[in-house]
Amino acid sequence: MQVVYYLIYTDLYRSAFDVVGVERRFGKLLPVMFASLFVNVLAPVAGVGGVALLVDDAAQRGQSGSRVAGGTLLALAAEFGAFIPVLVGGLLYLLLRQKLHAYELLGAAIVLTVTSSLVGLLTLGLWDRDRLYRLFHWLQAAVNRVAARLGRPALLAKGWADEHAAEFVRAAQAVATHPRKLIRTLSAALTGHLVNLACFCTLTLAFHELVPLGVLVAGYAMSITFRIASITPQGAGVAEGVTVLVYASLGVPRAQATAITLAFRGLFIWVPTFVGFVLIRQVRSFEDGARSDGAEARQKERDPH
């Protein structure tokens, strides 16, 4: 089921790139997606490391990095947006069972804020271009100000803000003019969450603890919420702890709750992260580095001095 999920996850991004006019072959995109998971663990800054890898890989292939960034934002917005109904369902079930806590509401609020911000960026590109341009100019000035204080030259060149804002506007227009492609992207995101729920259900059977659908949804909702909202890489430690607490509070024996949660997190996060580590050399950015290292080694063999 997790193999199916990551095929769908890759198709989600391929579909989002298609919406903004970037063509990526599925077979070429798959190793980059796994590599981005590995990079997100190494640089856990709201998924920025994975986004940077996708953008750099596109640039290495002669594609528009700004369009890829817009497509990545669209994919994230679709993934989080499709998760919102699952999150609301989980929160309602916890509320009805009188097991809803403040930290769960806080995590849900963070997810809603992140999702609204992603949708807001794309909406600005469609409805309020001036504000989007001002936002990019502010970001450029802030980054270069930090660089100056560190005694470094400007990191973002003159014209960066206008160029990238214009690409985001084009990406937003593409979303508006291709509703069928957008629906396909949202469908892929929703299907991915349904496959993950089915995986959770299968794991409960594997550990001899069949649970009601409401309990299943509540546990899954909190697992994904604290993967997004936690400051640790992929929610390591936090997501596991909260999910076990939720299942235990809803009547699942603690031993089975722990086994189910750890098995799901291992299959969903850590096995794909290891696959990303193995496949990262197939990403264009690292592939070129590997070739350079190999050429340098061969040169040293021919001329040891």
Cα-Cα-Cα-Cα torsion 38, 41, 44, 47, nearest 10 degrees, comes to 40
Sort 228 into a burial class: Cβ within 10 Å, 0-12 / 13-18 / 19+.
buried
Low pLDDT (below 50) residues in the chain: 46, 289-301
pLDDT of residue 292: 45
Q: pTM of the prediction?
A: 0.83
Three-state DSSP string of 2-67: HHHHHHHHHHHHHHHHHHCCCCCCHHHHHHHHHHHHHHHHHCCCCCHHHHHHHHHHHHHCCCCHHH
Residues in the chain: 305
pLDDT of residue 15: 92
pLDDT of residue 297: 41
- pLDDT for 57-70, tens place per residue? 777 777 767 778 77
